[in-house]
A and B are shown apart, each in its own frame.
Chain A
Amino acid sequence: DAKTTQPPSMDCAEGRAANLPCNHSTISGNEYVYWYRQIHSQGPQYIIHGLKNNETNEMASLIITEDRKSSTLILPHATLRDTAVYYCIVSYGSGNTGKLIFGQGTTLQVKP
């Protein structure tokens, strides 16, 4: 079972920041937080991942709380092409130990 909880859906206005929350209250000390998104009928796309510190790349920022029990993915300037299902996953290790289990995710609808 997925170890994360996300709201089923969110709306965001085009050009505004989209803040997607994720709860992972049972995360263990060495588990990473990964974010992926899936646009309809495509394979998931990697966005970002982190362990303890906040992370930023060209796509998004990842803010992890100090107790690591929750995180927020920030898309700074959402566009219509960012409409997708966003998945937050926690995982650690290699091979079968480091497998990525998908929950239900958050469907983000970016509106004009």
Chain B
Amino acid sequence: GAVVSQHPSWVICKSGTSVKIECRSLDFQATTMFWYRQFPKQSLMLMATSNEGSKATYEQGVEKDKFLINHASLTLSTLTVTSAHPEDSSFYICSARNQPNTEAFFGQGTRLTVV
């Protein structure tokens, strides 16, 4: 299957700082990317959907000013967690899709710990 790569795999940051997570589709053009977060022993929760060159669509309850999503090219999307706090500590996962109604491929995830 196609490859989606996230970087970094894990990050520890201090409370109040910002962290950027990259999501790259390595062998296909991702017209749509999804960002999820997952707390321990819970399912994935969709945060936002982004189409290349457009503003992201955020799910209800997700603060768009706190979780900045940029999808500037067909192979790269970034999620920036601004002014991170300990409650933002979570597993963040991106997913990318080339065409509608086809499989979306997932990155390996980024574990964020805010101290």
A interface residue numbers (CB < 8 A to B): 32, 34, 36, 38, 41-46, 49, 87, 91-96, 98-105
Contact = CB atoms under 8 A, between A and B. Distances in A.
A103 B43 contact: yes
A94 B102 CA distance: 9
Bin chain B's interface residue count.
Answer: 20 to 34
Contacts of A96: 49, 51, 57
A49 B103 contact: yes
Interface in B5-39: 6, 31-32, 34, 36
A87 to B, nearest CB: 8
B100 interface: yes
9 closest residue pairs by CB, A with B: A94-B100, A43-B106, A96-B57, A96-B49, A102-B44, A46-B103, A44-B106, A102-B43, A43-B109
A95 to B, nearest CB: 5
A43 B108 contact: yes
B46 A95 contact: no
Contacts of B91: 41
B104 A46 contact: yes
Given A43-B108, A100-B104, A94 B34 contact: no
Interface in B61-113: 91, 93, 95, 97, 99-109, 111
